[in-house]
Chain A
Amino acid sequence: MRSELSQTGKVPDCCRAGLFSSLLPLGLFVLLCLAWPRVVQGHMFTVHWNWVPSLDLALAFRLDGLGLLFGLIITMTGFFVTLYASTYMAGYTQLGRFFVYLHGFMLAMLGIVLSDNLLLLFIFWEATTVLSFLLIGFDHDQAGARENARQALLITGGGGLFLLMGILLLKAAGFPMTFGLLAASGNLVRAHALYPAFFICILVGVMTKSGQVPFHFWLPNAMRAPTPISAFLHAATMVKAGIYLLLRLHPAMAGTPLWTGTLVLIGGGTALWGAIQAIGPCDLKRVLAYTTLMALGVLTLFAGGQTVLSLTAATTFLMVHALYKAALFLAVGSIDHQTGTRDLNRLGGLMKCMPLTALAVTGATLSMAGFPLFFGFIGKEIMYKGALAQEMFPVFATIATLVSNALMTAVAAVILITPFAGPLGGKLSLVCEVPWTMRLGPAVMGVLGVMFGIIPEWVSAHLIEPAVFAIHPDREEIRLVFFHGINLPLLLSILTLSLGALIYGFRSPLRQGLLTVLDRLWFTFPGLYQTGLDRFLTLAGRFTSIIQNGSLHIYLSVIILVMIAAVGSVWLPHLPGIAKTAPLSGPWIAAGLFNFILISTAVVVTARHRILAIGGLGGVGAGVALVFLVFGAPDIALTQLLVETLTLIFVSLILLRLPPLEKAKPPSRSRTLRNAGLASSAGLIIATLLLATLQTPLDRSLTAFFETGSMVAAHGRNIVNVILVDFRSFDTLGEITVVVLAAWAGVNLIRRAKER
């Protein structure tokens, strides 16, 4: 799909679309920046349009500190990723589609972080699920990409259903859907008998979306997607949606032992599991994916805390991670793009040929490792402070944070040293630096990682504190500062770096040990998922082969039988009460028509030649149309006649291709009898229903309404048509949609039959 070794430094022509479309995220970023100063002052921008007031669903948006922080991350990463993709994706087909998905995804993500209504948030949440499915499976001609896309969709979509259940439970319990009001009734939510149910449902949604153990495995598998997608979805945005929801619901639902305990344990477990696995793979992207799991675990852990300190740790690390992870993903993509490989064993010495990328990676990895002077250092300090002050399981939280941070340091060293240092491989000496579109993102984010590390006070006043204030009632100020003096967090930081260096030194035996253990595991969550999916598909296959066995005769028999049983069981007791005959007040010609229809039906049933049967069918149709005409419904008669004509054409097109009727084996006697029984029972039921209908007086109020309103309101004298295209036009729109879809499906079925 794309050239292995790209040698040109120039931006190819085909990517102008990407360059142009990067204006959208840039514009949104600038807009958010314009609102930024007001938000820092504590102003909250809100808009509210009614959508479905009866469901408490409104197009309500709000921009506060938390939304702003996420929004800035989303639009900034979105801009760099689009710019990057404009070069990276050159050579892929369907680029237009790619940018539409990407920007659709970005807008959905912005929708999540800006909506002020839980149901609205859920709609955007689902949109990101669907769009991420399309993006992960972008290389849809590869079976692996399709499979991983399906896995992501099933897991995050399934979690989405749980989230919906949680939201609906909240709603059923009478709580408002607007975040502000929900937060105000936080005490009632926490005291509610159903609180565990709310929490668990929402938690499952969060865990699937944000890759928490045991739903984590879709995230490394999603690395099948082209790198810009991985950078955008699986580093900076989508997986953070769960974290965002936890933070957003914090005022309404946090503060219980259930919340804190569960989140600390799950988050800590995920952080450890992700960090340990990160030293395993040789594929750089998979390494990054596991470090993302670690980050998500840590964020969940800190979202579990009640204190301002814990939330400050979460938001700070969120920023740290977004900056270095997006930069690293993009840089790894650059390496892949230029060398054709992401395998750590085959890379080396790239510093000489890709110096600028190497510089950006240095900045990002040092921030990831948490070296002093980098933003990651500040993040790590506040993390240790938060972990030590955690209300529940502080020891576990601290150890989990410490171990996973140490592992991160080691992984950062691997990412920096292995591809860039050392001697240049023979084939790799041809490699050159990527064009500026692919350098800008990692460079800017790398520089920000250093800059924020030098001016933490500014960051904390302008980004972190407004975000935390938006979700925590206490206005306790926790300033990030460069140096706190010698204290426990600082010692832990030093310990982290030394531990990291130790792990880096022993990485080969550790990797071997890890791979051996992973191989010998008798139970894995991906395995469980696969078994479950296989079993489900087998079951579905069996079920389908029973109910969809391909025999039209059986389908029709079942439909008619169900109709007879359902209507008959209700209708039978009333049968004695209805009149046995109905007076025919029509003209004499009607009687003749009825006889004609009866004779035609007999012809259809007894015909020994297809053409005769078709002729008989036409006779029935025309007879019915004439009955309508005789009884004063010219409109229906016209339509009926035309429908019958076309049906006849279609039927003859199909039937005349089948083997001639006279050569076919006549059906068995018992089958004929069974069919006759079914047909006459259905006929009898309809006939008795019609007789009963005639006994009730006709309600003409609707007719009167349309007769008077038709000309005045809709400028038409033909009531039937006025109803179709004006009074009830929405129904008609639905009907023509069905017609078109049915035709589309039919065409595809016919074509497929032709291909066989």
Chain B
Amino acid sequence: MPEPLGGFGRHSEPALLVLVSLAERPKHGYSMMDDIDRLTGTRLGPGTLYGAIARLEKRGFIEKLESTDRRKPYRLTHAGQDALSSQLAGLEVVVSTGLQRLATA
């Protein structure tokens, strides 16, 4: 089965991080950036962050919420939740296999 973020190519990592960040609750760009920084120790640049947001929004994985604030919050859609679950399940197989092989090496 193809990976849900497979079509994102080299952009799949920032997209995955945005999905993971939004899995907690709806967030605007600055909160996502902070959350991803705390989670991974990597600070996404503004161009990379909004590139990922645009790709995910285009695919219907996230949606913008109405807000009077200039900072617009985004939330995961059902398709985004499914895509994230599927992507993480795929990664889990890789992680567990890797750890298993390291343990027996």
| A and B form one complex | no
